[in-house]
Structure 1
Amino acid sequence: MGLTYKKILVAVDGSKEAEWAFKKAVEITKRNNASLIVAHIIDTRNFATIEAYDRTIAERSEAYATELMKKYKDDAVAAGVENVIIEVDYGSPKIKVPKDLAKKHEVDLIICGATGLNAVERFFIGSVSEHITRYATCDVLVVRTKKEEE
């Protein structure tokens, strides 16, 4: 059987670290001839402070997510990944990614960037990647470095 991955989930949030994670995910997906699930979680905690009638921020987040995911899907396909699945979900990324999405897609590898949160949030709640590592039941690759351009 060997060490191959069949379903790889990469979590993206628009940060440069997520971009690095995505590029590495594409390479690993191609090497393993796997499926790639690109996930973006709209962090609903950001909406908690917003008045109920002010939907514009939520709508903007959705529009941004749609745009972001289309670009990621196009990039993955252009790079030669045959099976790309896009997931946009709401909630807390550090719970949604390792618990819900990983189970839903039966992934065997989660790839994420090292940060994507500001220092204060990291101090209080730990980074998303830390939580993913803790809660995932499959392998996790935390990307800290830029993928060298060929």
Structure 2
Amino acid sequence: MAYRTVLVGTDGSASSFRAVRAAASLAGATGATLVLACAYLPMRESERSAAAERLGELAYKINGSTPADDALRAAREHAVAAGATDIVLAAEEGDPVDVLISLAGRRHADLLVVGNRGLNSLAGRLIGSVPSAVTHRAACDVLIVHTTSGGRH
């Protein structure tokens, strides 16, 4: 089966960029469109004003989707370096799992790629993790990329 649209989630972390590189390599090799997705949650006004006070003229960096947009720009660099050529960026407000599932449906993704962060943690086992929740809810194939140290035998 050839994948036509590969969607990968990133939060700007080094481990998420490992998943981006894996998805980009696959997309590049198969000629698929790569959708880079980043979810963000709105910051409470009290948090925003406190952060803005500390950041001064750099306060614009925490408004709205700016942190997600920054993460996507960095992820795009990783994706291009890994061989992806057709890249779409998507920053959306909401819970990461909800955003990934929704985008996968709207973009007609054949493959959803996530890192394994949270799968082997106690918190992940007790309250769930993004990769675990995505595997239960996705209507397409899911690839879980080993992006964290430990847990490999």
1:27-106 → structure 2 map (5 Å cutoff): 27-44=25-42, 47=43, 50=44, 52-56=45-49, 60=62, 62-98=65-101, 100-106=102-108
Q: Is the 8 A contact 1:18 1:116 kept in 2?
A: no
Q: Say whether residues 1:113 and 2:118 are aligned partners.
A: no
1:17, 1:143 within 8 Å by CA — same for their partners in 2?
no
**Unpaired runs of at least 5, structure 2:** 52-59, 149-153
Could you say which residue in structure 1 is the equivalent of 2:14?
16
Question: Measured at CA, do residues 116 and 13 of structure 1 come closer, stay the same or move farther in structure 2, by a change above 3 Å?
Answer: farther
The answer to whether the Cα contact below 8 Å between 2:37 and 2:89 also exists between their aligned partners in 1 is yes
Superposed CA offset, 1:69-116 (max 9, x none): 112223323443221000001111112212x10011000000011116
**1:122 aligned residue (117, 121, 124):** 124
Q: TM-score, normalised by structure 1?
A: 0.78
Letter in 2 for 1:91: G
- Structure 1 contact 13–116 (Cα < 8 Å) conserved: no
Computing the radius of gyration from Cα coordinates, the structure with the larger value is: 2
Distance 2:2 2:130 in 1: 25
Moved over 6 A (4+): none
**Once superposed, what is the RMSD of the aligned Cα atoms?**
2.6
- Aligned CA distance change for structure 1 residues 23 and 12 (closer, same or farther; 3 Å): same
How many residue pairs get aligned? The number is: 138
